[in-house]
Amino acid sequence: MAGPGLKLSVTRFAPSPTGRLHLGHGFSALTAWDAAGNQNGRFLLRIEDIDGGRSKPEFEAGIIEDLTWLGEGLTGWGWEEPVRRQSDHMEDYAAALLRLKEMGVLYPCFCTRGDIRAEIERAGAAPHRGEEGPIYPGLCRGIEKAAAQDRIDASQPHALRLDVERAHEITGPLTWRDVEKGEVKAAAQLHGDVVLARKDVKTSYHLAVTVDDHLQGVNLVTRGDDLFAATHVHRLLQALLGFDTPTYFHHHLLTDEAGKRLAKRDRSITLKSLREAGKTPAEVRAMTGFKRG
Ligand code: GLU
């Protein structure tokens, strides 16, 4: 039991229902559960389905089925209900966008991918890659408010981007605590002006994750270290929106024999295929390297 003053960990596993879970997801879920369980904390499951085109209800059902199976025989295994499904909470993301808009850190972006590529080539700049492709060269940042509004009124499709420089001016320098790396300086500039609301869906990964972790009271974000760099953006959004900053634990990623990161397209290592091949949950847990139970 936690003593007085000792904060219980609230962790989460937040898969996107765009395919069956593989061994790496299993490891991530077990790690997040263990990080909460060690201190008698709370473990949450969140379905990140804002990508309407790729998310499928059958994959969401598969996530529940696979995770239930994976934890069989593990004392205390399970997550809190109700499970939060992002597509049910668009109003929470709209409220956050409104606050950011009022702070003057958002601007509409009408660019297509082609526009962005052409501008990078025109400027002769190397297309630095952020996690979502080349870093946005800022084409729409300088559009006058009235002119932008005319284009919005004329129903021109647009995304909303975060003016990262302006945002950092407001917040000043920021840091976050990473369980393995210690104190990390937030440098959202690495990603350029990220999209917070897409043209097709009025939120984005960065915004939805930051808002949800806050609303769900997550204080220990446990996820793979492929998302380490995304935390720069999340820390900045937390500061702008007045949210507490969780501690971060970016765990190592599982790789195949060739050292390549496991991906959803590798069918052979999905939890479902391992189950169908006759593996037991305990055997699969051992395959991930998870030590408990
Ligand atoms: N939904 C993301 C994914 O499946 C994970 C988000 C997170 O843990 O922050 O990769």
**pLDDT attached to residue 2:** 45
Pocket flag, ligand 1, residue 44 (CB < 6 Å): no
**DSSP character for 71?**
T
Which mean pLDDT values do the consecutive 10-residue runs of the chain (293 residues) have?
67 96 95 85 96 94 98 94 97 98 97 88 71 83 96 97 97 97 94 94 96 98 94 97 98 84 73 96 94 68
Contact 241, 100 (CB under 8 A): yes
CA distance 21 to 32: 15
Locate the domains of the chain by residue range: 9-88+254-293
Cis geometry, peptide bond prior to residue 108 (ω within 30 degrees of 0): no
Pocket flag, ligand 1, residue 16 (CB < 6 Å): yes
- Locate the ligand 1 atom nearest the alpha carbon of residue 13 and give its number: 8
**pLDDT attached to residue 131:** 59
Distance 4 CA to ligand 1 centre (A): 32
Distance 12 CA to ligand 1 centre (A): 10
- Six-digit token string for 238: 């937390």
Distance 186 CA to ligand 1 centre (A): 19
CA distance 146 to 109: 14
Cα 154 to Cα 138, 140, 161, 264, distances in angstroms: 22, 17, 19, 40
State the CATH class of domain 9-88+254-293.
alpha beta
Pocket flag, ligand 1, residue 250 (CB < 6 Å): no
Strand-by-strand arrangement of the 42-47 sheet: 10-13, 42-47, 84-85
To test the pocket of ligand 1, the residue of 84, 204, 205, 261 to mutate (highest count of ligand atoms within 8 Å of its CB) is 205
Cα 277 to Cα 25, 67, 254, 274, 284, distances in angstroms: 18, 17, 20, 5, 11
Distance 6 CA to ligand 1 centre (A): 28
Contact 9, 220 (CB under 8 A): yes
Give the type of residue at 129: R
CA distance 209 to 188: 16
Residue spans of alpha helices (H) in the chain: 23-37, 57-70, 90-102, 113-122, 145-153, 164-171, 205-215, 230-241, 271-276, 281-288
**pLDDT attached to residue 1:** 45
To test the pocket of ligand 1, the residue of 223, 247, 248, 253 to mutate (highest count of ligand atoms within 8 Å of its CB) is 223
Beta bridge partners of 220: 247
Distance 153 CA to ligand 1 centre (A): 34
Pocket flag, ligand 1, residue 213 (CB < 6 Å): no
The verdict on whether 264 is a catalytic residue reads yes
Pocket flag, ligand 1, residue 207 (CB < 6 Å): no
Element (H, E) at 12: strand 10-13
CA distance 37 to 31: 10
Beta bridge partners of 222: 249
**One of 202, 264, 272, 279 is an active-site residue; which one?**
264
Pocket flag, ligand 1, residue 227 (CB < 6 Å): yes
Nearest CA residue ID for atom 2, ligand 1: 15
CA distance 81 to 70: 18
- Locate the ligand 1 atom nearest the alpha carbon of residue 224 and give its number: 8
Q: Count the neighbouring beta carbons within 10 Å of the beta carbon of residue 31.
A: 20
Enter the pTM of the model.
0.93
- Nearest one of 185, 193, 197 to 134, comparing CA atoms: 193
**Helix, strand, coil % (nearest 5) of the chain?**
40, 15, 45
- Rounded to 5 degrees, what are φ and ψ at 147? -65, -40
